[in-house]
Amino acid sequence: MKLKRHEQNPILLPDLTSPWQCANVFNPSVVYHNGLFHMHYRAQGLDWVSRIGYAVSMDGVKWNRLSQPVLEPQDGTDSRGVEDPRVVEINGRFYMCYTAYGREFVGQPTHAGGGIRPMIARSDNLITWERLGPIVTGEDNKDHVLFPRLINGRYLALHRRWPHIWLAASDDLRTWREDDMQPIFGPRPGNSWDSKSVGANGVPIETPHGWLLLYHGYGEDHVYQFGVCLLDLDEPERVVKRPLAPIFWPEEMWELRGDVPNVVFSNANPVVNGIVHVYYGGGDHVIGLATCPLAELLDFVMMEGNG
């Protein structure tokens, strides 16, 4: 089982005429809404600060970009950039999970030069965003993503307390209590492709068998790859299946090389007409698309899940 690369890859490149996105465009979110693909992507330009751009498409391959970013740093908590958007529609409103990277931080710095925060913002039009706040502060936490509906009356989010994937619950998307957080799974013991670190990819896909979660990981060799697992529908902290084999890994020149080598990194896997569309950053530099039929991915998880 392996995702199939689109023949027109890479499908989005840096725009050399635009100061804020002339260096890198990567790690996009894509939602399919009212017959259009809506992309939010991370971009870096002359100042190397990450901003979030927006583009729209009829076919999910050719894009029309908005000339200005839709989300930019606003204070010390995100002065180094806003990164890695994951957008989801819940009950008719759009929510974006993104990572704020700033010079101002709580406690110890979590990354070189500052701290990071897993943030949530809200929008009704996908263009103007209102910040709601972080899930946690003062720790190495990113790769957060909301489930597309409430479960047992609460909003649920996956997040990553390095190197594990965690579950968190909230009544209002603003208050996230430590008591409502629990680990789901971590790096796989042994020397597998995901033996060092794991994190969620895009919004979990609801199926009759459970939540299909595409995730990324790396092992000793630090090559980012994708895997897939199945979480219980009502209790998503329960991993039902987790195949051993990865489903995608760097192969193209623009995945093996780039701003950061050996990286495929995905924040989005919308299902359109039964096809899972995996949008991903290659080498932290350009954007690619790989697909597979949802039924095939589900079969793979069910058959190989205890590998």
Which residues make up the interface to ligand BMA (CB under 6 A)? Answer: 27, 83-84, 260, 263, 265, 281, 284
Neighbours of 67 (CB within 10 A): 11
Taking the least distance from each CB to ligand BMA, the nearer of 236 and 250 is: 250
CA distance 78 to 38: 24
Toward ligand BMA, which CB reaches closer, 100 or 240?
100
Measured from the CB atom, the residue of 97 and 263 that comes closer to ligand BMA is: 263
Q: How far apart are CA 255 and CA 249, in angstroms?
A: 9
Q: How far is the CB of 171 from ligand BMA (least distance, A)?
A: 29
- Residue found by looking up tokens 């996105």 in the block: 21
Q: Which ranges of the chain would DSSP assign to H, the alpha helix?
A: 253-256, 294-304
Q: Which is nearer to ligand BMA, 38 or 80 (CB)?
A: 80
Distances (CA, A) of 255 to 14, 35, 261, 290: 15, 30, 7, 13
Please list, residue by residue across 1-35, b when 16 or more beta carbons sit within 10 angstroms of its beta carbon and e when fewer do. bebebbeebbbbebbeebebbebbbbbbbbbbeee
CB of 263 to ligand BMA, least distance (A): 5
Give whole-number Cα distances, 153 to 53, 123, 234, in Å.
Answer: 32, 21, 11
Nearer to ligand BMA, 90 or 136 (CB): 136
Instruction: Name the nearest CA neighbour of 265 among 225, 218, 294.
Output: 225
Residue 171, both tokens = 């009544």
Min CB(217)–ligand BMA separation in Å: 11
Q: How far is the CB of 260 from ligand BMA (least distance, A)?
A: 4
| Residue (57 or 201) nearer to ligand BMA, CB | 201
Taking the complex as a whole, how short is the minimal distance between the CB of residue 187 and ligand BMA, in angstroms? 14
CB of 27 to ligand BMA, least distance (A): 5
Q: Which is nearer to ligand BMA, 145 or 301 (CB)?
A: 145
Tell me the closest approach of the beta carbon of residue 103 to ligand BMA, in angstroms.
17
Task: Give the DSSP H or E segment for 86.
Answer: strand 81-90
